[in-house]
């Protein structure tokens, strides 16, 4: 816009541009853009935008020194600048410093906004300081210019849930619902999840029906969240009915929706039923994602049915090509590698590790499984040890323990 002369950039325009550059091209590009601005354009807006970039990158020293420079220059400060510093402390887990920033903000005559209070509430909750959180809540609710939105109320409710203060949680969930705007599907999903955490089936079902009226249409994520809530409540029959409703109404078959029911079956020990459901969908022409089989594999591992778990993981590996971001469950992989190294034939271990390394890099655990299987069958492992070394994986006590089996076997 600037280069084509569509408009002359103001300091505010530069601030927006600087923030976008920081997000897309990185901090060095943002600093370069700032340094090349004219003195006239280096205002509290652009200084503030650069502060935001520093804080988002969790650069504490740069953020604080930049903030101090802004103060020394006498630039007008705003709640946004202080919010950036408070968010920085949240992101680096220095929660105890957040209230001090809020106090400094007020001492300097700058009124906290909704976000300021929300960040501070979050800091107290992260330290399980319910009394501190409630003092900030009381102050916030006493400010006529502050509007506590549904999200803040829901956040407070979730903190109460974690603290086991269910009555207080219910009160804030009610407040949150009162503040929900029309068509706020995300808000209803949040409340449904919270009530499920409280084990309140009545409220979960009430909000689902209310959402149908208010929001008019549902998308896949809505069904996923509701199914997950019913699974958490142990209401598998209700979940099955809802899943059938989704299947009959959708034109976009997203396997993340049935995956939620698969998880429910596996958590309740119904792993065979989960596999039958998955195979039935495949017969009907549906294409699962690797994680679908991964979920069932995890279920079988939990039941110590390792042969079945291995077959399911093989199915998952066959689907990996279309799911580049997929990573198998580490606990499942650890269990299968341990089982294979103890009982599997070398060829089986090699096949499994060969498939596994197409989705994750070779690691010590994979090498140990291969070495142990070879040692069990009396085969040489020098090449494996060399490959392990080439991959910069040092031998450790576990490696030595496995290699000592070779000597025992020889005896």
The CATH number that applies at residue 221 is: 1.25.40
Name the percent of the chain lying above pLDDT 90: 87
Q: What pLDDT shows up at residue 408?
A: 61
DSSP 322: G
Distance of alpha carbon 95 from alpha carbon 53, whole angstroms: 20
Task: Please indicate, yes or no, if residue 208 is contained in any of the structural domains.
Answer: yes
Query: In terms of domains, do 212 and 281 share one?
Result: no
Task: Please indicate, yes or no, if residue 288 is contained in any of the structural domains.
Answer: yes
Task: Please indicate, yes or no, if residue 202 is contained in any of the structural domains.
Answer: yes
Task: Please indicate, yes or no, if residue 272 is contained in any of the structural domains.
Answer: yes
By residue range, what is the domain housing residue 194?
148-250
Maximal CA-CA distance, the chain? 85
Is residue 226 packed enough to be buried (19+ CB in 10 Å), middle (13-18) or exposed (0-12)? buried
Structure token digits, residue 270: 């119904």
Task: Please indicate, yes or no, if residue 375 is contained in any of the structural domains.
Answer: yes
Query: In terms of domains, do 286 and 366 share one?
Result: no
Query: In terms of domains, do 301 and 351 share one?
Result: no
Q: What pLDDT shows up at residue 134?
A: 96
Query: In terms of domains, do 234 and 263 share one?
Result: no
Query: In terms of domains, do 241 and 263 share one?
Result: no
Query: In terms of domains, do 235 and 280 share one?
Result: no
Q: What pLDDT shows up at residue 320?
A: 82
Structure token digits, residue 369: 């499984």
Query: In terms of domains, do 155 and 216 share one?
Result: yes
Q: What pLDDT shows up at residue 110?
A: 94
Q: Which of 226, 233, 223 is nearest to 198 (CA)?
A: 233
Task: Please indicate, yes or no, if residue 350 is contained in any of the structural domains.
Answer: yes
Query: In terms of domains, do 288 and 364 share one?
Result: no
Query: In terms of domains, do 229 and 257 share one?
Result: no
Structure token digits, residue 292: 């679908």
Query: In terms of domains, do 153 and 215 share one?
Result: yes
Task: Please indicate, yes or no, if residue 389 is contained in any of the structural domains.
Answer: yes
Q: Which of 350, 304, 303, 359 is nearest to 330 (CA)?
A: 359
Phi-psi region of 149 (alpha: psi -120 to 50; beta: other; left: phi over 0): beta
DSSP 95: G
Structural domains of the chain, count = 3
Structure token digits, residue 159: 């903190």
Which residue is it, tokens 């802004």?
70
Q: Which of 43, 54, 35 is nearest to 10 (CA)?
A: 43
Q: What angle do CA 326, 328, 334 make, to 5 degrees?
A: 160
Q: What predicted TM-score, i.e. pTM, was given to this entire model?
A: 0.84
Query: In terms of domains, do 156 and 246 share one?
Result: yes
Q: Is the dihedral of CA 296, 301, 302, 304 positive or negative?
A: positive
Task: Please indicate, yes or no, if residue 93 is contained in any of the structural domains.
Answer: no
> What residues of the chain score a pLDDT lower than 50?
none
Query: In terms of domains, do 374 and 303 share one?
Result: no
């Amino acid at each position: 816009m600037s280069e084509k002369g569509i408009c002359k950039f103001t300091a505010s325009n530069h601030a927006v541009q600087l923030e976008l550059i920081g997000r897309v091209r990185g901090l060095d590009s943002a600093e370069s853009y700032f340094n090349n601005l004219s003195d006239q354009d280096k205002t509290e807006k652009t200084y503030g935008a650069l502060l935001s970039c520093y804080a988002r990158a969790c650069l504490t020293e740069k953020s604080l020194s930049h903030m101090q420079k802004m103060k020394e220059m006498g630039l007008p400060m705003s709640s946004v600048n202080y919010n950036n510093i408070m968010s920085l402390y949240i992101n680096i887990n220095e929660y105890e410093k957040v209230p001090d920033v809020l106090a400094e903000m007020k001492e300097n005559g700058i009124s906290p906004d909704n976000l300021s209070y929300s960040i501070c509430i979050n800091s107290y909750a992260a330290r399980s300081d319910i009394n501190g959180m409630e003092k900030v809540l009381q102050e916030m609710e006493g400010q006529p210019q502050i509007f506590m939105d549904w999200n803040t109320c829901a956040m407070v409710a979730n903190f109460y849930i974690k603290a086991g203060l269910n009555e207080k949680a219910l009160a804030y969930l009610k407040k949150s619902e009162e503040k929900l705007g029309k068509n706020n599907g995300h808000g209803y999903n949040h409340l449904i999840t919270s009530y499920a955490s409280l084990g309140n089936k009545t409220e979960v079902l009430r909000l689902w029906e209310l959402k149908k009226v208010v929001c008019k249409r549902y998308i896949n994520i809505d069904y996923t969240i509701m199914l997950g809530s019913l699974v958490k409540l142990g209401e598998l029959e209700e979940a099955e009915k809802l899943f059938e409703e989704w299947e009959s109404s959708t034109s976009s078959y997203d396997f993340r929706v049935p995956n939620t029911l698969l998880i429910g079956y596996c958590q309740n020990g119904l792993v065979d039923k989960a596999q039958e459901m998955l195979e039935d969908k495949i017969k009907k022409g549906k294409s699962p994602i690797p994680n679908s089989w991964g979920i069932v594999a995890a279920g079988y591992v939990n039941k110590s049915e390792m042969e079945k778990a291995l077959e399911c993981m093989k199915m998952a590996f066959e689907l990996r090509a279309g799911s580049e971001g997929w990573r198998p469950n580490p606990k499942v992989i650890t269990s299968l590698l341990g089982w294979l190294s103890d009982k599997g034939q070398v060829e089986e271990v090699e096949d499994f590790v060969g498939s596994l390394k197409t989705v994750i890099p070779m690691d010590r655990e994979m090498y140990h499984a291969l070495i142990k299987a070879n040692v069990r069958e009396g085969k040489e492992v020098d090449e494996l040890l060399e490959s392990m070394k080439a991959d910069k994986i040092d031998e450790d006590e576990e490696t030595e323990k496995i290699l000592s089996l070779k000597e025992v076997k020889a005896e």
